[in-house]
Amino acid sequence: MTTETKPDIDIDRSVGDFRYEMDYAFDAGIGLNEATIDYISDVKGDPDWVREFRKEGYRKFLEKPMPTHWATKDLENIVFENIRYYLSQGQVPKRTWDEVPDDIKKTFERLGIPEQERKFLAGVEAQFDSEAAYSNIKAAVGEQGVIFVGSTEGLKEHPEIFKKWFGKVIPSGDNKFSALNSAVFSGGSFIYVPPGVKVKHPLQAYFRINAQNFGQFERTLIIADEGAELTYMEGCTAPKFETATLHSAVVELVAMKGAKIQYITVQNWSSNVFNLVTKRGIAHEDAEVKWIDCNIGSRLTMKYPGVVMKGKGARGEVVSIALAGDGQHQDTGAKMIHAADNTTSNIISKSISLGSGRSTYRGMVHVPKHLKGCKNNTECDALLINSHSRTDTYPAISVRGQGNAVQHEASVSQISAEQIFYMQQRGLSEAAAMSLAVNGFVNDLVQQFPMEYSVELKRLIDLEMEGSVG
């Protein structure tokens, strides 16, 4: 090999697009069958009920059709036989960065994770391919009884809480990809916040795909007990590969009576990633579940965070920003299931389509007949930048019964050549003018982000715009 003469990394314009060579101690090989699942269960030392859960998920995965009847045919380009389902160095998540193996640590250092942790986070979990390399929570937060560990550790060390909710918010047979995740899941976070504990600073997870032809299937379960409050943030990146990569997570949230969970995602996948994620939360009486979802990058994202408002007075909210660059498809939206009186849901979605990029909004708001005093507000705004980009809106609002109110607004706008000229006349380059206009379009939503993340988001938008102009 001639690698010595070349730099060991390959930097592109995007911060996440670099990759260090790795040797993996555990590799489930290419393709998926029952033996793959046994291999994963063996490596992870799963209890029997988890092995059974996986096999059940696998059966459902085989049964379920691809959702191509309503979504895109591009899904048919995923070749499940070509994917590697488990890769790790056999690492147990470390509690200090010093213990994290150098080759993994340098990746996260480059992504700025340890620095962010010092500055503003209550805890961090950093996943590299299939397993977390690092997982730590600030002592003060741990002392309040907050549990923040990887899913593997969660199911082993805290089965009494874990088992009660795992797979209950999102049954493994919910859709083909939740079934696939159930079969091969690895990594992701398990969080429990005890009654009345309000975690002041965010907990953060970072998901990094490093290997080619790889599938990342993390599984996150968050439970906020009565009156507890928590903000969780996840970031994700992958380097650019020639071949398709699959990211298919399942995230389940449980907000007990009066609890509040805010779940923030800023994804920046490279343009070869199929990102097919199922996210849903249950909000009990007077509880609140809020998803703030930012989808940048990927080849195809299909993601519709949902809230089941199970208790009276529960609130669900989805705030989403999707940016479909050239050749990308963001198929995103929200599902709001009202299942008790006086429940309120709010959906605000903004999408930006560039070049041949395509954005689709799919919303589902369900209020059954017997309920009273339920409200939904849905706003979706699309911004098109240049003529061949495309946007579709499919709101499915089924509201029955008396005294329930829904409001739906949608708009499509464009950045005009005259606006760009006006901004250029003030000295801004075309790309800077585009960025500014796009940032202006999402500005009111970005305000809802923690500062550090809104800065990151702005930077990502700037990078996308730079790449798309000129």
Partner 1 sequence: MSAPSSSSLSIRDLHASIGDKPILKGLTLDIPKGEVHAIMGKNGAGKSTLAKIMAGHPDYTVTSGDVLLDGESILGIEPDVRARLGLFLAFQYPMEIPGVTIANFIRAALQARLPEGEELEATDYYAKLYSKMDALSVPRNFTSRSVNEGFSGGEKKRCEILQMAMLEPSYAVLDETDSGLDIDALKIVSAGVNALRGPNIGMLVITHYQRLLDYIVPDKVHVMSEGRIIHSGDKDLALKLEAEGYDWVEKEYSAGKSAV
The minimum distance between CB 415 and partner 1, in angstroms, equals: 9
Closer residue to partner 1 (CB): 135 or 359: 359
CA distance 25 to 294: 34
Contact footprint for partner 1 (CB under 8 A): 413, 416-419, 421-430, 432-433, 436-437, 439-444
- Quick one: which of 338, 342, 335 has its CA closest to 368? 338
The amino acid present at 171, given as its one-letter code, is: P
Q: How many CB atoms lie within 10 A of CB 34?
A: 12
CB closer to partner 1 out of 250 and 434: 434
- Min dist CB 423 to partner 1, Å, is 7
d(CA 62, CA 180) in angstroms, rounded, equals 9
Q: How far is 344 from 410, CA to CA, in rounded Å?
A: 19
Q: Among residues 407 and 443, whose Cβ is nearest to partner 1?
A: 443
H or E element at residue 290: strand 288-297
Q: Which is nearer to partner 1, 109 or 430 (CB)?
A: 430
Task: Say how far apart CA 217 and CA 54 lie, in whole Å.
Answer: 12
Q: Which residues contact 388 (CB under 8 A, 6 or more apart)?
A: 355, 356
Q: What whole-number distance in Å separates Cα of residue 33 and Cα of residue 143?
A: 43
Distance CA 216, CA 147 (A): 23
What DSSP state is assigned to residue 84? B
* Helix, strand, or coil (residue 307): strand
Nearest approach in angstroms of CB 134 to partner 1 is: 32
User: Which of 88, 349 has the CB closer to partner 1?
Assistant: 349
Q: How many residues does the chain have?
A: 470
Q: How far is the CB of 417 from partner 1 (least distance, A)?
A: 7
DSSP-derived letter for residue 106 is H
Which is closer to partner 1, CB of 276 or CB of 446?
Answer: 446
Note whether 17 and 239 are within 8 A (CB): yes
CB of 468 to partner 1, least distance (A): 17
| Shortest Cβ 422–partner 1 spacing (Å) | 4
Q: How far is the CB of 461 from partner 1 (least distance, A)?
A: 12
Question: Which of 15, 432 has the CB closer to partner 1?
Answer: 432
In the complex, what is the shortest distance from the CB of residue 227 to partner 1, in angstroms, rounded to a whole number?
Answer: 36
Q: How far is the CB of 457 from partner 1 (least distance, A)?
A: 14
> Smaller CB distance to partner 1: residue 29 or 440?
440
Element (H, E) at 119: helix 113-120
Q: How far is the CB of 435 from partner 1 (least distance, A)?
A: 9
If the CB atoms of residues 322 and 433 are measured against partner 1, the closer one turns out to be: 433
For partner 1, the closer CB: 89 or 414: 414
C-alpha torsion angle, residues 176, 179, 183, 187 (rounded to 10): 100
Taking alpha carbons only, the member of 298, 319, 314 closest to residue 249 is: 298
One-letter-per-residue 3-state SS of 351-407: EEEECCCEEEEEEEEEECCCCCCCEEEEEEEEEEECCCCEEEEEEEEEECCCCCEEE
User: Which CB, 193 or 382, lies closer to partner 1?
Assistant: 382
- State both tokens at 192: 């429990």
**Facing residues of 293 across strands?**
265, 320
Residue type, 375: K
Q: Do strands 215-216 and 245-247 pair parallel, antiparallel, or not at all (unpaired)?
A: parallel
Report, in Å, the least distance between residue 321 CB and partner 1: 12
